Amino acid sequence: MEQKKKYPKGFFMSTGIATGIPIGLAISIALDNFAFIGIGVAVGTSIGIALESSFQDKGLIKKSGIPIQKRNKQLLYLFFSGTVLLTALLIYYFISNA
């Protein structure tokens, strides 16, 4: 009998958010209004919540999320460094077009 893969708690939420950020960025660039970047995060979060609950109902979510803590710390550092870089680029963009 084949054993199904179990996912750590919060896996689909973080994957949904990580997928939604580029979607929001693409929408923001297409509309030339960076206020729409939050749309992607909201869409990604809702998709992540739906997937998480679906897989939890099937029993494919691990009860303990301890192994993912180190990975979360690395993703947090990556997210903040990307946020700082994006903020610096936006400041440069607005200053150069002023």
pLDDT per residue rounded down to tens, the chain (98 residues): 567 788 888 888 888 888 888 888 888 889 988 888 888 888 888 998 999 899 888 888 887 655 556 667 778 888 888 888 989 898 988 888 86
pLDDT at 5: 82
Question: How far is Cα 72 from Cα 67, in angstroms, rounded to an integer?
Answer: 9
pLDDT at 64: 63
Check: CB of residue 13 under 8 Å from CB of residue 42. no
Question: How far is Cα 67 from Cα 76, in angstroms, rounded to an integer?
Answer: 15
Residues contacting 47, CB < 8 A, separation 6+: 16, 19, 20
pLDDT at 61: 83
Half-sphere exposure of 96 (CA within 13 A, CB side): 6
Check: CB of residue 42 under 8 Å from CB of residue 20. yes
Residue 29: which of 16, 39, 19 has the closest Cα? 39
pLDDT at 10: 83
Show contacts of 30-38: CB within 8 Å, 24+ apart.
34/90
pLDDT at 65: 52
